[in-house]
């Protein structure tokens, strides 16, 4: 089974704050594993998230975001989605068919602030997962 890794962009001004989560270069990424048991694995310092690729319904590139609302590990109070982001340039929202159990939470969507948003989305597309690019200021 091959695995493709996409680093999460870490803004230089954000690094001191990101260290709160144990984030440093090399410890912030998303991986897509192909094959019958393919899996999405995301890591942001000490925090990890995993879901089967078969559980992904769609993706959507969004952003850019306001810096203070984008940086770090975030969980939306209203929607319950989780985000791993180290810069405000945007993220790929990954929606699941059914919420994924993550610790005590059930996560309906995960935002990944991949350095190469288009490349990450293209890899999902190649795996047969539909999506769209809805960025502002393209």
Where helices occur in the chain by DSSP H, the ranges are 15-18, 67-70, 117-126
Residues 6+ apart with CB under 8 A from 83: 70, 73, 74, 75, 76, 91, 110, 111, 112, 113
Question: Can you say whether the dihedral through the CA atoms of 93, 94, 98, 103 is positive or negative?
Answer: negative
Please state the pTM of the whole predicted model: 0.93
Domain boundaries in the chain?
3-133
pLDDT digits (tens, 9 = 90+) for 26-80: 999 999 998 778 999 999 999 999 999 999 999 999 999 988 778 889 998 889 9
Contact between residue 105 and residue 130 where contact means Cβ atoms under 8 Å apart: no
3-133 CATH: 2.30.29
pLDDT of residue 70: 83
């Amino acid at each position: 089974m091959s695995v493709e890794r996409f680093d999460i962009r870490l803004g230089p001004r954000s690094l001191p704050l990101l260290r709160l989560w144990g984030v440093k270069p090399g410890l912030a990424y998303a991986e897509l594993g192909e094959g019958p048991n393919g899996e999405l694995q995301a890591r942001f310092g000490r925090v990890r998230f995993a879901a089967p690729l078969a559980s992904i319904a769609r993706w959507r590139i969004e952003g850019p975001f306001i810096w203070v609302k984008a940086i770090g590990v975030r969980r939306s109070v209203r929607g319950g989605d989780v985000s791993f982001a180290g810069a405000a340039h945007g993220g790929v929202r990954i929606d699941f068919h059914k919420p994924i159990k993550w610790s005590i939470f059930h996560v309906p969507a995960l935002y990944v602030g991949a350095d190469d948003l288009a490349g990450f989305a293209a890899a999902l597309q190649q795996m047969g997962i539909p999506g769209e690019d809805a960025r502002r200021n393209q």
